[in-house]
Structure 1
Amino acid sequence: MFFEIINETVQIFLLLMCVLSLILKKIQINMFFVIPLILLIILKLLSVLFRTKNNIKTYNEIEKIKGSLIKDSKYLLREQRHDFMNIYQVVYGYLQLNDSKKALEHIKKSIVTSSGIGKCYYLTIFSISILLDKKIREATNKGLEIVIEVDSYVDSELRGIENEKLILDSISKILDAFISCTNKNYEESKLLIDIYEHEEKIEFVFNGHIDIELLEEKYGYFENITKADDGFEVVFHLNNTKDLITEDSIYSYVMNI
């Protein structure tokens, strides 16, 4: 795009020089020849101005998105730090009470949770990974253990999808439904989530201490929930997936120095 603008600018300059040359040499000028030249110069100028304006707008939009990502990443890192501090405080509390058994149990649960959160980032759609991270930590803070497994069958690092907001809203509602309907009265209350990512869809399979009657009573309107042999299956279809182009940035540099 930059070289196209330079090329058009050079063309405008040459056209102007041509007109000026004719005028300075006081050559008898045919107006039917000059007027199209002037119109062409005006059109070229408008084209350059329009492209320059669009480039500035695109650059500003990219900078805005970049700023939003940095802000959201900072928030996520602060939340993770807060959660880790809570883990240390709980373990320290058990040790103060000389209850090493419960301290060890809490450490094991925290390891499972951290491992599950890490697996969420195997997915190629980053916004879904962040959503799962958030939901797992919220559920853990409420006393529910979530065990998650992720299998991605996509040969990409990062992807974008057309219906991203719709997918995020749908996944959020489904997760809230199963989390709220997982019975927390068991000594080891767990919600098991298996995720399978494909090119055009992403599948969730839920299992564990799920209160089926409560799920059907409160959330029976979810048409995409189907009962399977290994639990409840939910499929989300991804529209117009595309690979995102990545390159090293200043943050890549920071990670490697």
Structure 2
Amino acid sequence: MEETKYVKYMSDNFRAQRHDFMNYFQILYGYIQLGKINEANEYIKGIMELNKNMSKAYSISLLKVSILLDKMVREFSDIDCIVELDIKKYTDYTLRMVDNEDDIVNLLGKIFAYYMEREEAYKDKIHIKIEEFEDRISFLFVGEDNIAEVLEETRGFNFEIVEEGTGFTFTYVNPIDILEEE
């Protein structure tokens, strides 16, 4: 049953990606049809930057976390907000499963919902520093945005407010290493 839920999750996310990419091509096609070559070139440059940032998300060994980050990069780009990922990896694994991956995804989802639902105008950028180790993954949301109120709602969860922003760490529960880098 768990495998079926995972396959459905993956399928839904890949379908959403395909939909987004088809929209990119339709907009580009429209620019070309209208003879707006400069706009088409700028649009292509923007999509290339977006894809570079999205590809960073897949350097993390937790696939559900990678997919969520990819999705957020795309969704926030639709409202002209850049989700900038700075990822450092200190493990040789490209794919792992951990029992608490859904907890990580759920908390990140709440944080992104907080950013999406804010009443004040969106900022130009959400900067996230991510470090992945053999036994844990840490996230630092850089800047003055106070995601601490979102984190405080999560009972039993430790976070730290530092000069650079708000950070938190998940220790992996029962990691299963599936694929090691070659």
CA deviation string 1:176-229 (max 9, x = no partner): 22444596456xx11122211112221112236x6x36x56x637356443333
**Deviation (angstroms), 1:245:** 6.7
CA distance in 2, matches of 1:171, 1:197: 15
Equivalent residue letter for 1:235: T
Q: Which of the two has greater helix per residue?
A: 1
Stretches (4+) displaced over 6 A: none
CA distance in 2, matches of 1:72, 1:160: 15
1:207 aligns with 2:142: yes
Equivalent residue letter for 1:238: Y
Aligned residues: 176
CA distance in 2, matches of 1:114, 1:166: 26
1:91 aligns with 2:22: no
- What are the within-5 Å matches in structure 2 for residues 73-222 of structure 1? 73-94=10-31, 96=34, 98=36, 100=38, 102-181=39-118, 184=121, 189-207=124-142, 212=145, 215=147, 219=150, 221=152
**1:237 and 1:171, CA in 2 relative to 1: closer, same or farther beyond 3 A?**
farther
**1:141 and 1:219, CA in 2 relative to 1: closer, same or farther beyond 3 A?**
same
**Deviation (angstroms), 1:83:** 0.7
Equivalent residue letter for 1:161: V
CA distance in 2, matches of 1:123, 1:178: 22
**Deviation (angstroms), 1:145:** 1.9
Identity over aligned pairs, percent: 28
**1:149 and 1:220, CA in 2 relative to 1: closer, same or farther beyond 3 A?**
closer
Preserved CA contact (<8 Å) 2:61 2:95: yes
CA distance in 2, matches of 1:137, 1:153: 26
Equivalent residue letter for 2:36: N
**Deviation (angstroms), 1:88:** 2.5
Equivalent residue letter for 1:160: M
CA distance in 2, matches of 1:204, 1:166: 14
SS of 1:234's equivalent in the other structure is: strand
Equivalent residue letter for 2:91: V
**1:147 and 1:107, CA in 2 relative to 1: closer, same or farther beyond 3 A?**
farther
**Deviation (angstroms), 1:161:** 1.6
Q: Which of the two has greater strand per residue?
A: 2
- 1:249 is aligned to none
Structure with bigger gyration radius: 1
